[in-house]
Amino acid sequence: MVMLRNSRKRERGQSKKAFKVKPKQSRKEDDFDEVVSSDSELDETEIIPKVAEQSDSEDENETAQEKKMRLTKKYLEELKMIKEQNATDDEKDLVGEQLQEDVLEKAGRLQKKIAAKCLPPDEGIIKVLKGHKLSVICMAVSSDGLLLFTGSKDCSIIKWDLKTHKKLHVMKGGSKIDGVCHRGHVLCLALSTDMKFLASGGRDKLIHIWNPNTCEHLHTFKGHRNAVSGVSIRANSHQLFSSSHDRTVKVWDLDALAYVETLYGHQDAAQSCDSLNRERCVTAGGRDGSIRIWKIVEESQLLFHGHSGSIDCVRLINEEHMISGSDDGSVCLWSVMKKRPIAVVQQAHRLEGVPKSREMWISAVASLTNSDLIATGSSDGYIRLWKCEGKFLKLTPLFNVSVPGFINDMRFTNNGLFLIAAVGQEHKLGRWWKLKDAKNFIYVIPIQGNAENK
C-alpha cells in the first residue's frame, strides 16, 4: 500500500509539472460537470495527433500561438493528403468533416448515423457457433473484429475465429480440471485494445488474466469476496475495472499486474461494468436501483436513478450517453449530465397478449460505440434493435431478430457489420426457469446495409 501511495504521489507530481509548462491544458478531460457550449471551446491542440508533437523542438523560440498554428496546419495538410487520394468531385469538404468528427469524438458527443442503414437479416445467413455445453453468459470481441472469446456456465472460455467461425482454443474449467482455470461460471470477459490482455471473472471470486494470442495464463487477481460480475479494460490503456456481487468496484493495473484501489457506494450486488476512453467506469447496482459513474481522477462518483427493478446491464454509447436494462422490463437512455433518464421504454420486450411476466426481463444491452444504434435482449425470443433519434432524445424501434433463448450478452463489432449474441437455456444469474427449445449457442448476426462502413 505504501508503494502504491508513493507511485500515485509521483504521478500527481509529474502531472503538476506538466501543467506548469502548458497551463492551457490544465483542464481535465474527465470533468463531466463542465458543460461544453460549443465546439470552438475545445483547444485545437487536443485533436492534433501525438505524431505532430514530435516536431515541437523545431523552433524553441516560437510563441504558444505560433506553435498551435504550426501544428494545426501540419495536421490539416496530413488530412488533406489522405483524403484527396480517394476524393471525387462530390467530396469537397472531407477535411472539414473529418475535423468536426475528431472534435466531437474527443468531446464524447459523436453520433454516427448508422441505424438508418441497417436492415433485418435473413435467417439463413445468421451464423451459429456451437461449442459450450451450458448457457453462454459473456463475450469479448477484438477491436479488429476478427477474434471472439466466449464464457459459459460450463466454466470454460473458447476462442473463435470470426472469419471461419471455427474454434481456435478452449480454456477448460471446473472443479475436475487440473491447473489454473475458473472453478465456477465465467460471468464476464474483457479484451484490451492492443490484444495484450484478456480478463475473465467468475463465480469463484477470481479474475484471471490471459494472453489472448497464445491463451497462456499470466496472473490471477484475488480480492473480491463474492462473484465477479463485470470486467472492463479502458480503451487504449491497461487499466482494468471490475464489479462484484460483494458491492464493490475495484481498479487494477495490468502493466504491473497489481491492485490499485477499491470503490465503495453500491448497496447491492454490482451486476455490470463498462468503460471507454476516459479514466472512469460505469456500473449497474442491481436492486439498489442505481447506476454509478466512477470518476477515478477526481475520486468522486455520479449517481443515476430511473428503473423500478434490478438494473442488470449497462453500456456506454459514447462518453456522454449510456443505455441500461432492468428486470422491470424497461430500457433507459441516459445523459451523464442528468440524474434521470432522457428516454424510457417500458415493457420493451413484452409479448403480444402476454401479461407482465418473466419474459420482460432485459438481460442484455449493446451499443455500437459513437453511433445511434442500440440492441436489447430478453427471453421473449427476439433481439430488438433501436435507433437513438436526434441528439439522443428518443429510442425508436427498428426491427427484431428471432433468437430463441436467454440473451445473456451482446456485442457489436467495431465496424458495425455484425451483432454477436451469447444465448442459453438459462438466465446468466440463476436457474429460475429453463427454455427447453433454446440452444446454448453464439449467434453471429449480419446487420445488412452496413457493408459500406466496413
For residues 102 and 139, state if they share a domain.
no
Burial 259-294, CB ≥16 within 10 A → b, else e: ebeebebbebbbbbbbbbbbbbbbbbbbbbbbbbbb
Look at 151 and 178; give whichever has higher pLDDT.
Answer: 151
β-partners of residue 126 are none
Q: Per the structure block, which three cell numbers stand in for 280?
A: 472512469
Look at residue 37 and tell me if it is in a domain. no
Mean pLDDT over 226-230 rounds to 97
pLDDT tens digits for range 68-108: 777 777 777 776 676 666 555 445 455 566 666 666 666 66
> How confident is the model at residue 212, as a pLDDT?
97
- CA 366 from centroid of its chain's CA atoms: 8
Mean pLDDT over 59-74 rounds to 71
Report how many domains make up the chain: 2
Lowest mean pLDDT among 55-64, 246-255, 273-282, 352-361: 55-64
Residue 190: which of 181, 182, 199 has the closest Cα?
A: 199
Mean pLDDT over 260-265 rounds to 97
What is the total residue count of the chain? 454
> How confident is the model at residue 249, as a pLDDT?
98
For residues 161 and 60, state if they share a domain.
no
For residues 100 and 163, state if they share a domain.
no
Look at 81 and 252; give whichever has higher pLDDT.
Answer: 252
> How confident is the model at residue 77, as a pLDDT?
74
Residue 240: which of 230, 253, 259 has the closest Cα?
A: 253
Mean pLDDT over 357-383 rounds to 89
* Whole-angstrom distance, CA of residue 1 vs CA of residue 12: 17
Lowest mean pLDDT among 99-108, 223-232, 237-246: 99-108
Among 55, 73, 107, the domain-final residue is 107
Whose cell is 459513474? That residue is: 293
For residues 281 and 373, state if they share a domain.
yes
Look at residue 20 and tell me if it is in a domain. yes
* Whole-angstrom distance, CA of residue 127 vs CA of residue 124: 8
For residues 69 and 209, state if they share a domain.
no
For residues 365 and 225, state if they share a domain.
yes
> How confident is the model at residue 41, as a pLDDT?
40
For residues 81 and 127, state if they share a domain.
no
- Rounded to two decimals, the pTM is 0.78
> How confident is the model at residue 228, as a pLDDT?
98
* Whole-angstrom distance, CA of residue 96 vs CA of residue 193: 28
Sheet with strand 186-191: strands edge to edge? 186-191, 198-202, 206-211, 216-222
Beta pairing class for 300-305 and 311-316: unpaired
Q: What is the CATH number of the domain that holds 161?
A: 2.130.10.10
> How confident is the model at residue 449, as a pLDDT?
66
> How confident is the model at residue 67, as a pLDDT?
74
Look at residue 311 and tell me if it is in a domain. yes
* Whole-angstrom distance, CA of residue 175 vs CA of residue 162: 30
For residues 281 and 387, state if they share a domain.
yes
Backbone angles phi, psi at 336, to 5 degrees: -70, -10
**Which helix (DSSP H) or strand (DSSP E) does residue 423 occupy?**
strand 418-424
Look at residue 22 and tell me if it is in a domain. yes
- Please give the residue range of the domain that contains residue 214: 115-453
Q: Per the structure block, which three cell numbers stand in for 9?
A: 504521489
Among 62, 77, 107, the domain-final residue is 107
CB 133 within 8 A of CB 422: no
Mean pLDDT of the chain: 83
For residues 81 and 143, state if they share a domain.
no
Please check the confidence at residue 52 and state whether its pLDDT lies above 50.
no
pLDDT tens digits for range 5-22: 444 444 444 444 343 334
* Whole-angstrom distance, CA of residue 151 vs CA of residue 375: 20
